[in-house]
């Protein structure tokens, strides 16, 4: 596997073990089935507990049965899962970074005890409801709101969320809503069990990207949740945005995995495929493509490794994560297309991964903050002038 500047040399035993376990799972159990799931537009839900058994949900958190692995180990895990498919990494990202992280960081003790062990084992599935039909890049404009219940023992939620990964199969949704009963209507996080009266989730079927992942809507109509279901530790947009930083970190690593899988597929194909009486890998035009891919992947990998160092030292800034998400996903989007080119006609089939990765990258380029939004976050950081509006 491509590791051009020998980053492996700096990994400890535990990090190698996590990487190898994930790689082995992806190669032997996931790659053989992903093509069919992609064509059918399904996710293999039977592997959800298996991913839990392997410790793939939030392994960088500790307590509640979670191992507290290093940020590098977590990044390597995301890299290996996305080498399989962005839908597989999404499953782990949403469960770990967007559902378990806020419960761990902002939840009450009883919320943590109730949900973290089950979510960690894959016995329950969570989803993260931030985006709304009219509020995507600007979630602060959200319409979903909570009013104090008349009896004063909870809240009534109304609103709708869309493009929510795993909503149709989730047991619990972390729903971000404006608390109209508090001064200034701050955004709060609510743990909403999906079997509550008034909750409906519909699947979005017409996707041409991230097909091996379940995506849906959440409709909330006069849904009562008790006070005990509110995340007590955070108020304001910092709540959801801090979760996004965790997930974007995983995506910065994951995109490298998808691009690496495209590179390895293209390299092998170029060596095997013969035209004009020899392998196409002997043509300078093809070698230039492989050289550029390897260089782009390696530089993206270096950025991801540096983020891990900063994160483990507690010095990582969200803007640095934006730079890596923006750069590494654009890299994977561009390089997956080049890999597809090297595969010729075969490259458009589900027998090979590059076109699937290329199509997935349209989603990854868009979710967790579009490429444009990350440009603006960086522009703001670099100039001190916000250009969002």
State the residues that interact with ligand FAD by CB under 6 A.
Answer: 94, 128-131, 136-137, 163-165, 210, 215, 363, 366-368, 370, 372-373, 376, 388
Count of Cβ atoms closer than 10 Å to residue 14 Cβ: 13
Q: Where are the beta strands (DSSP E) in the chain?
A: 62-63, 66-67, 126-129, 145-148, 154-165, 172-179, 187-193, 199-203, 215-226
- Candidates 93, 111, 201, 301: give the one binding ligand TGC (CB under 6 A): 93
- The β-bridge relationship of strands 66-67 and 62-63 is antiparallel
366 binds, among ligand FAD, ligand TGC, none (CB under 5 to 8 A by kind): ligand FAD
Q: How far apart are CA 263 and CA 53, in angstroms?
A: 30
192 binds, among ligand TGC, ligand FAD, none (CB under 5 to 8 A by kind): none
Choose from ligand TGC, ligand FAD, none: what does 377 bind? Cβ within 5-8 Å by kind: ligand TGC
Distance CA 269, CA 251 (A): 27
Q: Report what 244 binds from ligand FAD, ligand TGC, none; CB cut-off 5-8 Å by kind.
A: ligand TGC
Asked whether the beta carbons of 155 and 147 are under 8 A apart, the reply is yes
One symbol per residue from 191 to 210: x for binding ligand TGC (CB under 6 A), - otherwise; what is it?
--------------------
Closest CA to 106 of 244, 227, 232, 229: 232
Residue 72 interacting entry, from ligand TGC, ligand FAD, none, C-beta within 5 to 8 Å by type: none
Distance between CA 125 and CA 317 in Å, rounded?
29
Backbone phi, then psi, for 166, in 5-degree steps? 70, 5
What is the footprint of ligand TGC within residues 98-127 (CB under 6 A)? none
Q: Is 132 in the site for ligand TGC (CB under 6 A)?
A: no
- Report what 358 binds from ligand FAD, ligand TGC, none; CB cut-off 5-8 Å by kind: none
Applying CB under 6 A, among 39, 53, 62, 137 the residue interacting with ligand TGC is: 137
Among 162, 245, 301, 320, binds ligand TGC (CB under 6 A): 245
Of 72, 90, 111, 144, which one interacts with ligand TGC (CB under 6 A)?
A: 90
Q: CB of 250: closest distance to ligand TGC in angstroms? A: 8
**Residue 335 in the binding site for ligand TGC (CB under 6 A):** no
Q: Which stretch binds ligand TGC (CB under 6 A): 129-137, 168-176, 221-229, 256-264?
A: 129-137
* Rounded distance between C-alpha atoms, residue 107 and residue 229, angstroms: 9
Query: Residue 64, class by beta-carbon neighbours within 10 Å (0-12 exposed, 13-18 middle, 19+ buried)?
Result: middle
Rounded CA-CA distance 45/1 in Å is 28
Smaller CB distance to ligand FAD: residue 11 or 241? 241
Work out the number of other CB atoms within 10 angstroms of the CB of residue 339.
28
The residue range among 4-12, 111-119, 233-241, 262-270 that interacts with ligand TGC, by the rule CB under 6 A, is 233-241
Q: Which residues contact 48 (CB under 8 A, 6 or more apart)?
A: 91, 122, 125
Burial class (CB in 10 A: 0-12, 13-18, 19+), 152: exposed
Residue with smallest beta-carbon separation from ligand FAD: 136
For the chain, the helix, strand and coil percentages under 3-state DSSP, each to the nearest 5: 55, 15, 30
Shortest approach of ligand FAD to residue 281 CB, angstroms?
35
- Neighbouring C-alpha atoms within 13 Å toward the C-beta of 370: 11
Q: Which of 27, 109, 368, 389 is catalytic?
A: 368
- Please say if 368 is a catalytic residue: yes
Residue 140 as a binder of ligand TGC (CB under 6 A): the answer is yes
Mask: binding to ligand TGC, 281-320, rule CB under 6 A, as x and -? Answer: -------------------------------------x--
Closest approach, Cβ 218 to ligand TGC, in A, equals 13
Footprint of ligand TGC (CB under 6 A): 90, 93-94, 128, 130-131, 137-140, 165, 236-238, 241-242, 244-245, 247, 318, 367-369, 373, 377, 388
Active site residues: 368
């Amino acid at each position: 596997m491509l590791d051009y500047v020998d980053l492996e040399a700096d990994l400890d035993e535990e990090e190698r073990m996590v990487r190898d376990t994930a790689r082995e799972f992806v190669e032997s159990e996931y790659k053989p089935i992903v093509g069919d799931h992609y064509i059918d537009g399904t996710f293999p839900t039977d592997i959800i507990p298996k991913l839990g058994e392997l410790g793939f949900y939030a392994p960088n958190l500790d307590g509640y049965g979670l191992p507290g692995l290093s940020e590098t180990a977590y990044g390597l895990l995301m890299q290996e899962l996305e080498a399989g498919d962005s839908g597989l990494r999404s499953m782990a990202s949403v469960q770990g970074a967007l559902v378990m992280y806020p419960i761990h960081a902002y939840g009450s003790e009883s919320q943590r005890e109730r949900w973290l062990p089950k979510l960690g084992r894959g016995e329950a599935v969570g989803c993260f409801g931030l985006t709304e039909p009219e509020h995507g890049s600007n979630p602060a404009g959200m319409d979903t709101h909570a009013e104090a219940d008349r009896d004063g023992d909870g809240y009534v939620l109304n609103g709708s969320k869309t493009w929510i990964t795993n909503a149709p199969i989730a047991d619990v949704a972390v729903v971000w809503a404006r608390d109209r009963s508090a001064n200034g209507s701050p955004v709060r996080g609510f743990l909403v069990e999906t079997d509550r009266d008034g909750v409906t989730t519909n699947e979005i079927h017409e996707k041409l990207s991230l097909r091996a992942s379940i995506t849906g809507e959440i409709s909330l109509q006069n849904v009562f949740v008790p006070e005990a279901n509110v995340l007590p530790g955070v108020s304001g947009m910092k709540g959801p945005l801090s979760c996004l930083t965790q997930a974007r970190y995983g995506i910065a690593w994951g995109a490298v995995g998808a691009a690496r899988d495209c590179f390895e597929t293209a390299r092998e194909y170029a060596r095997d495929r013969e035209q004009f009486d020899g392998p196409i890998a002997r043509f300078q035009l093809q070698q230039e493509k492989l050289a550029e891919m390897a260089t782009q992947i390696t530089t993206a990998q270096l950025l991801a490794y540096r983020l891990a160092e900063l994160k483990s030292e507690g010095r990582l800034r969200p803007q640095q994560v934006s730079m890596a998400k923006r750069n590494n996903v654009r890299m994977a989007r561009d390089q997956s297309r080049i890999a597809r080119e090297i595969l010729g006609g075969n490259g458009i089939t589900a027998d090979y991964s590059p076109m699937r990765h290329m199509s997935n990258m349209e989603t990854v380029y868009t979710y967790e903050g579009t490429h444009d939004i990350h440009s603006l976050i960086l522009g703001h950081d670099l100039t001190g002038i916000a250009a969002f509006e």
